Amino acid sequence: MWRLGVVGYPVEHSLSPVLHLEGLRLAGLTGTSERVPLDEDDSDRLATLLGARFDALSVTMPLKAAAAACCHELDDAAARTGMVNSLLWREGRILGANTDGAGLVEALAHMGVPVKGARCVVLGAGGAARAIVDALVNSGAEHVAVLGRTRARVDWFLERYDRVGAAEPDGGVDLVVNTTPSHTRVDEPPLAGATSATLAVDIAYEPRMSSWRALYETQGCRSANGLGMLAFQAARQMRWWWGVRVDGARLLEVIS
């Protein structure tokens, strides 16, 4: 019996418990899942939840950096980014992983959108952007531009990745990903390099059609919300937790 949960703030509308229960069913396992509201000021409680109350947790903002700090061991993506979205309790140790970026890449592949050789722009330079840029670079993107309001945060990327810049790439944009929080964003006109061949992805999934996506569709671009990323990162997360393949496409069907 697996004790699962999602932790962060706010989490009252999180779809993670729905994904957890479907994943358990697909894997032939049993368990429960619940939402645990926990903000940054109470992040020291995070480590106490593992073992005593939960076997594994999904972690959302604003706790991904705090989750990384409480781990005894990190997977490669979490070590590179300093962000954890997946926690596992194993023999008294807390293990951490980050499946966000790889989940987006798999969601793009499911849509028939290749990352290798792509010219990409990521809007925002926070924790979600770290995982996404890391995955895009490691999946062979030709160039990734990080457009963020805080120069120090943008510099974090420039210091770590060769194919990352701070300006929109010349010659058009194949993929633009908006990672800025919905409650703080100001929708700006589509990028100059956006064309009908550009895919615009808003990693938020509520509302399903954001005003930012609508601007890009008016420009003639294709667009998608964050449900695909959510489903495929969850599938990778569960594979890491249980050692059993879970179908991300099936998880996407459940929450779409």
Q: Distances from the Cα of 63 to the Cαs of 57, 86, 175, in angstroms?
A: 12, 11, 27
Contact 236, 210 (CB under 8 A): no
The answer to whether the 2-98+229-255 and 101-225 domains have the same CATH topology is: yes
**Whole-number average pLDDT of the chain:** 95
Question: Percent of the chain at pLDDT above 70?
Answer: 100
73 SS3 class = strand
Contact 139, 107 (CB under 8 A): no
Q: CATH classification of 2-98+229-255, choosing from 3.90.1170.40, 1.10.3720.10, 3.30.70.520, 3.40.50.10860?
A: 3.40.50.10860
Q: Is the pLDDT of residue 5 over 80?
A: yes
The model's confidence at residue 165, banded by pLDDT at 50, 70 and 90, is very high
The whole-number pLDDT of residue 168 equals: 87
Instruction: Locate the domains of the chain by residue range.
Output: 2-98+229-255, 101-225
Residue with more model confidence, 44 or 144: 144
Q: Is the pLDDT of residue 185 over 80?
A: no
The whole-number pLDDT of residue 170 equals: 82
The whole-number pLDDT of residue 82 equals: 97
- Just list the catalytic residues: 64
Contact 22, 254 (CB under 8 A): yes
Write the pLDDT tens digit of every residue in 215-256. Answer: 999 999 999 999 999 999 999 999 999 999 999 999 999 999
The model's confidence at residue 41, banded by pLDDT at 50, 70 and 90, is confident
Write the pLDDT tens digit of every residue in 47-59. Answer: 999 999 999 999 9
Count CB-CB contacts under 10 A for residue 17.
17
The model's confidence at residue 44, banded by pLDDT at 50, 70 and 90, is confident
Sheet containing 175-178: which strands, arranged edge to edge? 164-165, 143-147, 119-123, 175-178, 199-202, 222-224
The whole-number pLDDT of residue 151 equals: 93
Q: Is the pLDDT of residue 40 over 90?
A: no
Write the pLDDT tens digit of every residue in 87-145. Answer: 999 999 999 999 999 999 999 999 999 999 999 999 999 999 999 999 999 999 999 99
Question: Percent of the chain at pLDDT above 90?
Answer: 92
Sheet containing 31-37: which strands, arranged edge to edge? 31-37, 2-8, 56-59, 86-90, 93-97, 73-74
Fold of 101-225: Rossmann fold (3.40.50)
Helix pair 227-242, 16-27: axis angle to 10 deg: 50
Q: What's the helix, strand, coil split of the chain in %, to 5?
A: 40, 20, 40
The model's confidence at residue 178, banded by pLDDT at 50, 70 and 90, is very high
